[in-house]
Structure 1
Amino acid sequence: MVSNHHSSRERAWSLLPALFVVLLLSFSACKKNDDSTPTPSTVNDLINNGNGSSNQFTIFRTAVRQAGLSGALSQAGNYTVFAPTNAAFQAFGYADTNAIKAAPATLLTAVIQYHILTSKLTASAIPTAVNTPVQTLSGGTLYITKGASTSATSTTATSATAISVNGARVVSTSGEASNGIVHAIDRVLLPPVFGDVATTIQGIPTILPTASFTYLNAAVTRAGLVSSLTATSGGPITVFAPTDAAFTASVPSLTSVAAVSALPVAQLQQILAYHIVPNNRLYTPLITNASSLSTVLPGSILTAGVSTTGVTVTGKSNGTSASNITGPDITASNGVVHIIDRLLLP
């Protein structure tokens, strides 16, 4: 009896390892089946889903797909995407996804690549500085400003919490993903696809058909100032570019572009110089209300106005008739262009 009892106990102990293995496998299988931890979202997921809220990136999502970048933003990596909201695209003239689909593919790809960095840049990692240059997926440069506001006549920055990119404000951070981060911005960013300020002014009508600068281009040539707008030395410049309507409203005698050739060169040089702020890449978030902007015309300044409805500049001889910036913050390789609706008079 003792021998049989001892033998039974040995058999029971010998079964324990096998039982342990069975229980372990069973536990592992249950854990695998019960594991509901979601896979971290990608940047492309955030753009597609709007971070769980009503999607504010519907038009941008279509643009990303049209540019062939959805796959890249779904892969492993570190991306920062400055994503224009639907309202930003609509303000730019693209009412819906159909408008995006009709856009030239090459230009669209260049524009979307200009909104993407190949490194992850959280809001806290952005330095407190004005116009910090960062490289984009396209190899271009974005200028990021954080926690500072300044005018063209001041080198002292005042504290703030705002972040802007080429003048577009970051309105929210839509979340971090496994491969980067998405920041929502209130304006579409245009890369300096045309080059310098002079060629940018000439090229703007190809992407903004409502803007026309035939009088301005003729005046620049007549005044011999083309080289001033194409120069890469001496620092960046900011140009307030009056439209054709702005010219003809101020100078009724300009009934045709050919009439520009009849204007005195010295007068044209003075007026045009009054539209240029030297040594400054002056995006609109850097302009403060009632600030004085020094121009290329010696001793002459413009007075800036900032309100909830926009930014204005007023010339000394414009009285109370301010010029509205109707097309702000268009980046050129050597500066910034702002479209304005009234000629500035010194």
Structure 2
Amino acid sequence: MKIRTSLRKFASATFALATLVLTTACSEDDSTPMMPQEKTITTIVSENQDFSLLKSAVVKANLAETLNGTGPFTVFAPNNQAFAASGISQETINSLSVNELSAILLYHTVAGKIIAANVPAGPNAEVATVYGDKIYVTKDSRGVFVNGWKVNTADISASNGVIHSIEHVLMPPMQNIVQMAQSNANLSYLVAAVLRASQGTTNVANVLATTNNLTVFAPTNQAFMNAGFPTIVSIENADPDTLASILTYHVIGARAFSSDLSNGQTLSTLNGGNLMVLLGNQATVKGNSNSSASVITSVNMLATNGVVHVIDQVLLP
């Protein structure tokens, strides 16, 4: 997913960078000092060097008041390492508009204080964000996951809510699965295959664009080349129904983030077949007729109607 496509609008929420003054007082009659007050969410972010990129985004987005107010709010806060893992640098932040940054930041914010113990178990329980779109949360023995990404540090208490530090920047979904593939140059062979397959008895493009709660394992261009389709022309000359059978073997009829995958898990596909998930040094998925498993190279690309994981082999029924 291209950064400029993924980082699109954000309505405004307002982080503040005001500093809370802590005081203690004594009187002749009472020697007990006042308890120091907790800092607001935005003061915690602004004072923590691990959140310096988040602070920079907040400042650029002109989000300066709301999350310094009464709240309460819950913020899933990506630290600097999470920004790096998401391919977002200071230069990226500088290049984005106020609205783009606002969209991303508000998508990380939920109205109300939700500590980790009170996160819905799910899996993938829908929670509305201040931005308006939903995030999908899961809580189990491994911890808390949002859109498949793990909360690394939970329950950072603030005077007006709580912060959960998360391992990845959450991107509000802006495109359906087909549109997402069309915007990714590394999936152009997949797009060609979907369009060609839709000329047969199954309109694969319509299925992937309009059906909700799908998971697609998306082969890269090189994966198609390795599977015997050296050019897009070769895909366009292939039998549509054969392509449709192969493509629907890459689709699961449920939303499955990486956090939903387990070692030895069997996944049922839209064409009636099964895939095998193996988790070791690498996360892989294997088709019945593949001699080796396909490595999952990118995960949790959220679309408006599902989630996409990129793989390095075409799966064969």
Give TM-score, length-normalised by structure 2.
Answer: 0.84
Q: Is it true that 1:68 corresponds to 2:58 in the alignment?
A: no
Secondary structure, aligned partner of 1:318? coil
Give 3-state SS (helix, strand or coil) of 1:183's partner: strand
Query: Among 86, 93, 99, which residue is 1:100 paired with?
Result: 93
Indicate which of 222, 227, 234 corresponds to 2:206: 227
> Do the aligned residues in 2 keep the contact of 1:41 with 1:178 (CA within 8 Å)?
yes
Equivalent residue number for residue 157 of structure 1: none
Deviations 1:77-103 (A, max 9, x none): 111111112222112212x32332123
- 273, 277, 286: which is aligned to 1:304? 277
**1:78·1:179 contact (CA, 8 Å) conserved in 2?**
yes
Of the candidates 304, 315, 319, which is equivalent to residue 291 of structure 2? 319
Q: Does 2:230 match 1:254?
A: yes
Q: Distance in 2 between matches of 1:292 and 1:28?
A: 66
Matching residue within 119, 141, 145 for 1:164? 145
Return the alpha-carbon distance in structure 1 between the equivalents of residues 187 and 26 of structure 2. Answer: 71
Residue number in structure 2 paired with 1:128: 121
* Residues 201 and 337 in structure 1, CA contact (< 8 A), matched pair in contact too: no
Whether the aligned pair in 1 keeps the contact of 2:283 and 2:295 (CA below 8 Å) is: yes
The answer as to whether partners of 1:58 and 1:97 remain within 8 angstroms in 2 is no
Output the CA distance in 1 between the equivalents of 2:28 and 2:205. Answer: 74
Aligned to 1:272: 247
Q: Give the distance between the partners of 1:270 and 1:339, measured in 2 at CA.
A: 19
Is the contact between residue 192 and residue 200 of structure 1 (CA under 8 Å) also seen in structure 2?
A: no
- Tell me: CA distance 1:243–1:106, structure 2 relative to 1, closer, same or farther (3 Å): farther
- What is the TM-score of this pair, normalised by structure 1? 0.77
Kept after mapping to 1: 8 A contact 2:107/2:129: yes
Which residues of 2 match residues 30-109 of structure 1 at below 5 A? 37-50=35-48, 55-94=49-88, 96-109=89-102
Counterparts of 1:166-181 in structure 2, within 5 Å, are 166-173=147-154, 175-181=156-162
For residues 323 and 303 of structure 1, what CA distance do their matches in structure 2 show? Answer: 10
Residue deviations 1:306-333 (CA, integer Å, cap 9, x gap): 23x442111122212x222222111122
Task: Supply the distance in 2 between the matched residues of 1:297 and 1:65 (Cα, whole angstroms).
Answer: 49
Q: Which consecutive unaligned segments of at least 5 residues does structure 2 have?
A: 1-24, 199-203
Quick one: which of 303, 307, 311 aligns to 1:336? 307
Query: What 5-or-longer segments of structure 1 have no aligned partner?
Result: 1-26, 148-159, 206-210
**Per the alignment, in what secondary structure is the counterpart of residue 270 of structure 2?**
coil
Q: Answer yes or no: is the 8 Å Cα contact 1:246–1:342 preserved in 2.
A: yes
The equivalent residue for 2:135 is 142
Deviations 1:136-191 (A, max 9, x none): 011000110111xxxxxxxxxxxx24210000101112511111111011111111
The residue number in structure 2 matching 1:191 is 172
Matched residue, 1:19? none
Counterpart for residue 24 of structure 1: none
2:121/2:137 contact within 8 Å kept: no
Q: Please give the secondary structure, in 2, of the residue aligned with 1:68.
A: coil
* RMSD, aligned CA: 2.3
**Local SS of the residue matching 2:230:** coil
SS in 2 for 1:57: helix
SS at match of 1:73: helix
Please give the alpha-carbon distance, in whole angstroms, between the structure 1 residues aligned to 2:37 and 2:237: 69
CA 1:29–1:69 in 2, change beyond 3 Å: closer, same or farther? same
Residues 45, 30 of structure 1: CA spacing in aligned structure 2 closer, same or farther, 3 A cutoff?
Answer: farther
Q: Who wins on radius of gyration, i.e. which is larger? A: 1
Instruction: Report the CA distance between 1:135 and its aligned residue.
Output: 0.4
The CA distance in 1 between the partners of 2:29 and 2:311, in whole Å, is 64
- CA–CA distance in structure 2, aligned partners of residues 295 and 178 of structure 1: 47
**How far does the alpha carbon of each residue in 1:200-232 deviate from its partner, in whole angstroms, 9 at most, with x for none?**
2223x3xxxxx5211111111111111101224
Q: Are 1:285 and 2:259 an aligned pair? A: yes
Instruction: Give the residue type in structure 2 aligned to 1:333.
Output: T
Residue-by-residue CA offset, 1:287-306 (whole Å, 9 max, x unaligned): 110111111122x1111012
1:271 to 1:136, Cα distance in 2 relative to 1, 3 A: same
Residue pair 1:127, 1:146 contacting (<8 A) in 2 also? yes
- Alpha-carbon distance in 2 for matches of 1:219, 1:62: 42
CA 132–284 in structure 1, closer or farther in 2 if over 3 Å, else same: same
Aligned-residue identity in percent: 34
The Cα of 1:29 is off from its aligned counterpart by 7.1
- Taking the aligned partners of 2:308 and 2:283, their CA distance within structure 1 comes to 14
For residues 12-31 of structure 1, the aligned pairs below 5 Å read none
Aligned to 1:117: 110
